[in-house]
Amino acid sequence: MVEEAAHRLAGVVTRTPLEPNARLSSQVDARVWLKREDLQTVRSYKVRGAYNFIVQLDEGTRDRGVVCASAGNHAQGVAYACRRLGANGRVFVPGTTPRQKRQRIATLGGAHIEVIVVGETYEDAFAAANAEAERTGATLVPAFDDVRTVAGQGTVALEVIDQLGFTPDLMIVPVGGGGLIAGVASWAAERHPGMRIVGVEPAGAASMAAALSAGRSVPVDDLDSFVDGAAVRQAGFVTYPLVRDSGAELTSVTEGAICTEMLTMYQSDGIIAEPAGALATAALRDAVKIEPGQSVVCIVSGGNNDVSRYGEILERSLVHEGLKHYFLVGFPQEPGALRRFLDEVLGPDDDITRFEYIKRNSRETGPALIGIEVARASDLGGLLERLDHSPLQVERVEPGSPLFHFLL
């Protein structure tokens, strides 16, 4: 099915570059290539599955329209396919979908697409899209859970092998609902069984790992929606068995590590990746075992990132790297209290990046929320020691705590 999908997509989607990457190759002592799906027609591989699905609908079905649910990238693929094929569609996206993606959907679809924002998760959008399909008779275009979508996504692997001219030792694939890894891994198991496939999920949205552990597709209770292109609460009923039977491995990386990799890709490689687009390369740091000299392909799945998110991305990265820390400090309400804190507690290379103080005239102390950035992660020990020996009332805001989540 993947080969047939490749024929349908020929001349429709971009044959994206496969680029060697010196930084990552040096990092893991191997030969690393990046499959640049961020340079795809809609800046994401999702157009492959969406077009392969819609183009196979008969004319009467297509005339009744299509609907889809998406965190943004699948919707762009549907919008592009609808405009190219002359079909009309309505796309449902959750409120967490960046504005940049919403605008791109509307631009790509033109008069053929209506964008509707509903709920806060992909599941909310899917429920609305499903209800719309039942009400109107339009066809639901699955983001991942259909063999036609899966086959379209799998063409990424076929293209990689053709571009390389040989079978790599390892292909690292980002994982959300499982459409991409199901297509890549099932095709590779049949055509290139010697190639190792590793899927990478966000630690806060590891729905495929949950399915493999439970022996069936199950919902993830606590979903972190930050990696919006891969934050799916439940792996697909179609994709799960394909992944299970393919022999693919799974791992995960934290959202902070993903942010660090996004910034590194931008600064070192000139690549603007969205969070899901940095999943595969983020896993190279310590989540995937690679033998020296192996050939490795990482799929950069998308580049639809809203520039307004970079403040949060930088913040998460600093916390992950151990460079940013938060404290609740009780200051005595007397002149010079802050000056003593600066002189006695703050190190020479430490920097206050956030200071919120509430003065209360009826109390002897006033609470302050202080964010401190250290120059090196190893500087934290000295800072904590100075805080411990100071007369101030200090409580560290631990990463993962409810207050910390409020800050981020």
Do the domains 47-140 and 322-407 sit in the same CATH topology, yes or no?
no
Q: What is the mean pLDDT of residues 205-212?
A: 96
Q: Does residue 229 have a pLDDT over 90?
A: no
Q: Does residue 365 have a pLDDT over 80?
A: no
Q: What is the mean pLDDT of residues 372-380?
A: 92
Q: What is the mean pLDDT of residues 48-70?
A: 95
For residue range 129-153, what is the model confidence (pLDDT) as tens digits? 999 999 999 999 999 999 999 999 9
Domain boundaries, the chain: 2-44+147-315, 47-140, 322-407
Q: CA-CA distance, 100 to 377, in Å (whole number)?
A: 34
pLDDT score, position 309: 86
What is the band of 362 on the pLDDT scale with cuts at 50, 70, 90?
Answer: low
pLDDT score, position 330: 85
Q: Does residue 389 have a pLDDT over 80?
A: yes
pLDDT score, position 336: 80
pLDDT score, position 100: 77
> What burial class does residue 77 get, using C-beta atoms within 10 Å of its C-beta: 0-12 exposed, 13-18 middle, 19+ buried?
buried
% of the chain at pLDDT higher than 90: 73
What is the band of 403 on the pLDDT scale with cuts at 50, 70, 90?
Answer: confident
pLDDT score, position 400: 73
CATH no. for 322-407: 3.30.70.260
- Higher-pLDDT residue of 317 and 120 is 317
Q: Does residue 290 have a pLDDT over 70?
A: yes
CATH no. for 47-140: 3.40.50.1100
Q: What is the mean pLDDT of residues 266-289?
A: 95
Q: What is the mean pLDDT of residues 169-182?
A: 97
Q: CA-CA distance, 237 to 131, in Å (whole number)?
A: 19
Q: Does residue 361 have a pLDDT over 70?
A: no
Q: Which CATH architecture has domain 2-44+147-315?
A: 3-Layer(aba) Sandwich (3.40)
Q: In whole numbers, what is the pLDDT of the chain averaged over residues? A: 92
Q: What is the 3-state secondary structure (H, E, C) of the chain?
A: CHHHHHHHHCCCCCCCCEEECHHHHHHHCCEEEEEEHHHCCCCECHHHHHHHHHCCCCHHHHHCCEEEECCCHHHHHHHHHHHHHCCCEEEEECCCCCHHHHHHHHHHHHHHEEEEECCCCHHHHHHHHHHHHHHHCCEECCCCCCHHHHHHHHHHHHHHHHHHCCCCCEEEEECCCCHHHHHHHHHHHHHCCCCEEEEEEEHHHCHHHHHHHHCCCCECCCCCCCCCCCCCCECCCCHHHHHHHHCCEEEEECHHHHHHHHHHHHHHHCCCCCCHHHHHHHCCCCCCCCCCCCEEEEEECECCCCHHHHHHHHHHHHHHCCCEEEEEEEEECCCCHHHHHHHHCCCCCCEEEEEEECCCCCCCEEEEEEEEECCCHHHHHHHHHHHHHCCCEEEEECCCCHHHHHHC
